[in-house]
A = this chain, B = another copy of it.
């Protein structure tokens, strides 16, 4: 074994960073044996240097992250700051100064992944980021390496623990969205400002990363259709139950049936209770992958938290250190397929639509005519009426999002339709 240690600079020492530092210390012998050389924490960049950090030598702590990544003797920079800047500049500076990079930064990778990969390739260094998607669950490596000889057609997953906790709570207790969110906040599953989670921004960043790897195509955050889950109601869950379904916030990356394009989207959807994703409880994450040869695979585990995310960071750290010792780099960006990313209007799926309608003869015929005119085929209709008012629940066969939007627009113009109470996609069949 080499005795000269590999030097690691840690950018950020919050929930994840402090756990990375702790494991690097407590498991130093194991890491050395698995890498083939010891690893040494050479510096820790933080914002608040006065904070006491147990187990970290204060002499290593600095507020000057730029000077740390420019030192020139750093082998690997571990970036767990998050956000776009200064993380982006620090990572490119790290490459320019000969370091490899391990990052957990989903927002940055989804927005600027191509530029970061280019910087890594230019410097002939590694950029690894298993921790950016679904915490400790190995996903990037299985998609990028285990399935490298297969053709992935679909990635369907629960990739945000906060929203899964809220939806699971609504499902199991009948609570409304606000009540479930309040509980998630009280328990620390939701942040004070939950926007990034509940509006689907976090899941959309992960969808962009997963779609890019799965389809060997650059998919940016802007390419991902996004709908949050703040408007899911207890009534939606009741409707879902009647269909033998539950509701999850899903990230869905699909190859078009003809193989010529891909789509990526995040939105709440009904899925059958028999689908393995339906039983993913609390803040857990799970991702379903469908490929030509392997068939259906599922990866399940804790999607966030200091320790699980640190586990993923350290797995990458071992791989990157091994690559440096053998003078090579792992698989970089694979975007050779360069498939076009189709707009949401092209997505084909099923829909569950609740309409408030006038309770009089001929309404169903009117509504059915509108669906037919827009080429949306109806699977089932359920009509419940009471004294002048009625509700109509329509479940469609597969139709494009554009056709569905056209249908709904036309339905709103009917005198007999008083309102469209909810529209929800039905997935996982």
A322 touches B318 (CB 8 A): no
Q: Please, could you name 28 A-B residue pairs with CB atoms under 8 Å apart, sorted by A? A: A23-B149, A30-B216, A31-B149, A34-B148, A34-B334, A136-B295, A138-B138, A138-B147, A141-B145, A141-B146, A146-B315, A148-B315, A148-B319, A149-B313, A149-B316, A149-B318, A291-B311, A292-B311, A293-B308, A294-B308, A294-B311, A295-B302, A295-B307, A297-B300, A298-B298, A298-B299, A299-B300, A300-B300
A296 within 8 A of B: yes
B307 touches A34 (CB 8 A): no
B301 touches A298 (CB 8 A): yes
Which residues on B sit within 8 Å (CB–CB) of A30?
151, 216, 337
Which listed segment binds B: A52-60, A323-331, A400-408?
A: A323-331
Partner of A294, one of B142, B302, B336: B302
The distance from the CB of A242 to the nearest CB of chain B, in whole angstroms, is 22
Q: In the bound complex, what is the Cα–Cα distance between A307 and B314 (angstroms)? A: 33
The chain B residue sitting closest to A325, CB to CB, is B328
Partner of A312, one of B216, B294, B310: B294
Which residues on B sit within 8 Å (CB–CB) of A187?
none
A276 within 8 A of B: yes
A336 touches B150 (CB 8 A): no
A130 within 8 A of B: yes
A293 touches B146 (CB 8 A): no
Partner of A142, one of B142, B150, B216: B142
Interface of chain A residues 1 through 55 with chain B (CB within 8 A): 19, 23, 27, 30-31, 33-34
- Please give the number of chain A residues whose Cβ is less than 8 angstroms from any Cβ of chain B in the complex: 59
Q: In the bound complex, what is the Cα–Cα distance between A294 and B302 (angstroms)? A: 7
A317 within 8 A of B: yes
A77 within 8 A of B: no
The chain B residue sitting closest to A149, CB to CB, is B314
Which residues on B sit within 8 Å (CB–CB) of A315?
145-150
A33 touches B308 (CB 8 A): no
The chain B residue sitting closest to A307, CB to CB, is B293
* In the complex, per-residue mask of A99-117: 1 if CB is within 8 Å of any chain B CB, else 0: 0000000000000000000
A295 touches B301 (CB 8 A): yes
B318 touches A294 (CB 8 A): no
A148 touches B314 (CB 8 A): yes
A314 touches B150 (CB 8 A): yes
The distance from the CB of A214 to the nearest CB of chain B, in whole angstroms, is 13
A384 within 8 A of B: no
Q: In the bound complex, what is the Cα–Cα distance between A311 and B312 (angstroms)? A: 24
A331 touches B322 (CB 8 A): yes
Which residues on B sit within 8 Å (CB–CB) of A308?
293-295
A297 touches B33 (CB 8 A): no
Q: In the bound complex, what is the Cα–Cα distance between A23 and B292 (angstroms)? A: 10
Interface of chain A residues 276 through 310 with chain B (CB within 8 A): 276, 279, 291-302, 305, 307-308, 310
